[in-house]
Amino acid sequence: MLQTAHIPGNNYGCSPGTPRSTRVERLLRDRELRKINKVFSLPEVARDFNRDPEVFGNDQIPSDPENCGLFNEEEFSEGLVGCEKQNGQPSKQRLLVVANRLPVSAVRKGEDSWQLEISVGGLVSALLGVKEFDTRWIGWAGVNVSDEIGQRALTKALAEKRCIPVFLDEEIVHQYYNGYCNNILWPLFHYLGLPQEDRLATTRSFQSQFDAYKKANQMFADVVNQHYQEGDVVWCHDYHLMFLPKCLKDYNNEMKVGWFLHTPFPSSEIHRTLPSRSELLRSVLAADLVGFHTYDYARHFVSACTRILGLEGTPEGVEDQGKLTRVAAFPIGIDSDRFIRALELPQVQEHIKELKDRFAGRKLMLGVDRLDMIKGIPQKILAFEHFLEENPDWQDKVVLLQIAVPTRTDVPEYQRLTSQVHEIVGRINGRFGTLTAVPIHHLDRSLDFHALCALYAVTDVALVTSLRDGMNLVSYEFVACQASKKGVLILSEFAGAAQSLGAGAILVNPWNITEVAASIGYALNMPADEREKRHHHNFMHVTTHTSQEWAATFVSELNDTIVEAQLRTSKIPPVLPIKSAVDCYLQSSNRLLILGFNSTLTEPGDTLGRRGGQIRDMELKLHPELNEPLKKLCDDPNTTVIVLSGSDRSVLDDNFGDYGIWLAAENGMFLRLTTGEWMTTMPESSTMEWVDSVKHVFEYFTERTPRSYFEHREASLVWNYKYADVEFGRLQARDMLQHLWTGPISNASVDVVQGSRSVEVRAVGVTKGAAIDRILGEIVHNKGMKAPIDYVLCIGHFLQKDEDIYTFFEPELPSEKPPLARAKIPAPARTYAPKISNCRSLSKAYLRKQKSLSILERRASNFGSVGGWRPVVHDRVSVYEGSSVLDLKGDNYFSCAVARKRSSARYLLGSSDDVVSLLKELAQC
């Protein structure tokens, strides 16, 4: 557990969150322990490795063949089963790895017998090196098993490999896997755009595919739920399972869930074209930790959540009403020791000798790619042709060996790509080849592990020209095998590996054929000392940031994220206990209901106003279901209702003019009972000379920020950019604040209040909490109250600065110093003596409330510059200390924030719909 120093708790008796440095210190400590306890599971003997062209988690999809590496069955079993027990007792945390495909493929040999073929990719090799977890795999076995006998037999066979199957039928696979995953998400995430309708003819529509996608994810979740044990870590992988975190959290909100994407995540402008964009983002945000290969992908994800969902992006991740989903970059690596050791094997040495003899006298350039659109193979070959054209002296001295692993050979686009590549290679070889040699050797197949290591070792220049790649570990494998040769790596800036190996590689734009050709020439002619320096930078990174370190770091961060989330959640108020609130309401004799207006008594609206609702949302209207309940509450002689809002008086008049209710406009600056006239509570010393200058600033920024607007209220000005582009609006707000503080309000007595999408300038000291005592005093005087108030319900969606209204009624903690509050305070006429039953003495805060009361007076001269000022009948409101009429027990006070989890309120309500339900129940009492 994280250790923290003793810090006084908040209102709920909870300690504040752990500082970030605490987590970093623990992660550093864990990293050092992993180094000390590092154990290699691979023996120093030769093994028969076979290169698997498919990437685990992205099989049969255009992706990274470089993430592959095949362990034999004995090693795979030992790597998983050996994690289970230590000294006969379970001692390791269980890790449930959930991916679309299991690390084994099943072949049916009979009604109740199966043959399992290990097809392990980069993810498995990463997790085999993580010894501190008991790992189990959950996924699809790649085969349709419709009969129960076959399912039971396969489940039993897979259990021996620590694998748990998810059984998907052919229709689900067709719609979910071939349709939504391969045909929609994969192209979009690689910037290829959404497919046209003609490509969807065999896979139906977007919606049916998405429905199948959600159904498949729920099937994965059901299997996880069956095998989940308390304390397990569930690690979901890749775009196939973006809906899975939400399904798991719906089942058990305490489950530790992480999600990692092995492809790029596109910019928000690309992602927003996806019809199901919001659902997928919110589903991923249900996870506790979201990981990407690079910072760019993480930044794009946060930007999409900000622009599409309207949530808050923070340096830690994405925050939604107090719930933080951590978003971070975790660059994957390779098992570098495996490649380094393989170079010493006799088979590899023999391959190396053959290759050196075969290409003697010529420089060898190498490309290893899956044959698909994102790998940039045509661009690579055309750049090599351009190099030969510009450098005729090199035509007989260099050869390009391109390994192109076939994939999705049944798809027309891939068939056309294959034909295109073959045509270009044939043309170049015909143009620059001789009877004994050709400049390009093109292989449409994969190589086994030993042959590939040998090829890496003898290569002079590795050429990676991906147009878009999640990571591309071919570059890592090449560097790991170059200890003696120290060859040069030319790497596309659009590959994720460019973020990690940029120091030692030559970064290129693969679309710029001339630039790539020039880089080839520079690499071939690079001096030995520069090659050695570049190789050293990359080799140190590859051998330090291994796949095992990647997996261990992610799981360790996930565990720490859970601890921090628990500390953060402990400070979030609980949901309002409606039954208790109603029971106390029934038992009380003099009740006070204080209600906010916007987002409390109004209908929930679109936070980003995308569907043409901006004008409608700007016109605040009372929730239609509140008409009857609110009227009953206002007609109750034992209940006083106040609507306390920052809105203008005219807005409150329009919505509540027919109720017997107290209205407090502009945060309590104006007050009236609906049967009377408006009064002002403006302090005598207040001035409004700053209004004109601030108005000019707000007009300036409104003109330059599309879809923003400002409200010129009578005692305040508000600039709102709720409907503008979020990031641009924030930049404009920051610029506005700098301008205001250094100019128009530098010497004015005003407060600048920042909301989530607004900037408000109001007179200094004006808050809802500061106004409530004055309002209570006038209410008592007007109503002729015979008994003290013994029940208070305060509900609102208030700005942070206005949340002092929640703490106004809170019993103050006794002071450690001699209580100054014993001084006698004369009670004004028509009020009761102070009576706070669960305080032993009046506190400093209570005294401060009494002393802060000033003459409540409107001075027309102070408002001369404000347009639209309406006459007020009452020029002065008498002073009444409202807090002195309270006989409020702690259990009879219910403060409740609406749709805001970080709050000073005692309780929470999810939305204004919950407020409607509560008020309906109170009205029926």
Dump pLDDT digits (tens) for 692-722: 888 889 999 999 999 898 888 888 899 998 8
Residue 583's CB is within 10 A of a number of other CB atoms, namely 12
Separation between Cα atoms, residue 550 and residue 164, nearest integer Å = 24
For the stretch 95-139, pLDDT in tens is 999 999 988 888 888 878 888 887 656 677 677 666 778 899 999
Q: What stretch(es) of the chain map to CATH 3.40.50.2000?
A: 94-329, 336-545
Among 641, 672, 673, 671, CA closest to 919:
641
* Res 863 pLDDT > 60: no
* 401 confidence band (pLDDT: 50, 70, 90): very high
Class of domain 336-545: alpha beta
d(CA 540, CA 739): 48
Residue whose token pair is 């220049």: 461
State mean pLDDT over 652-663: 90
Which segment, 489-503, 595-609, 780-794, 832-846, is predicted with the most confidence on average? Answer: 489-503
| pLDDT band with cut points at 50, 70 and 90 for residue 876 | very low
Average the pLDDT over 160-185 and give the result.
Answer: 91
Q: What is the pTM of this model?
A: 0.78
Beta strands in 34-88 (DSSP E): 85-86
Mean per-residue pLDDT for 361-368?
Answer: 95
- From-to residues of CATH 3.40.50.1000 in the chain: 578-604+621-683+767-810+887-923
Asked whether 678 and 672 are in contact (CB, 8 A), the reply is yes
A 10 A CB-CB count for 110 gives 9
Q: What is the DSSP string of 661-715?
A: -EEEEGGGTEEEETTS--EE--BTT---TTHHHHHHHHHHHHHHSTT-EEEE-SS
Domain with CATH 3.90.1070.10 in the chain: 690-763
What class has domain 690-763?
Answer: alpha beta
Contacts of 583 (CB under 8 A, 6+ apart): none
| Integer Cα distance of 363 and 365 in angstroms | 7
Other Cβ atoms less than 10 A from the Cβ of 820: the count is 12
pLDDT at 614: 66
Instruction: Note the pLDDT of residue 205.
Output: 75
Tell me the pLDDT band of 529, cut-offs 50, 70 and 90.
very high
SS3 326: strand
For 94-329, CATH number out of 3.40.190.10, 1.10.760.10, 3.40.50.150, 3.40.50.2000 equals: 3.40.50.2000
User: Do 122 and 55 contact (CB within 8 A), yes or no?
Assistant: yes
CATH architecture of 578-604+621-683+767-810+887-923: 3-Layer(aba) Sandwich (3.40)
The pLDDT value recorded for residue 122 is 64
Q: Once rounded to an integer, what is the mean pLDDT over residues 524-547? A: 94
CB atoms within 10 A of CB 43: 9
Q: State the pLDDT at residue 56.
A: 33
pLDDT band at 172 (very low <50, low <70, confident <90, very high): very high
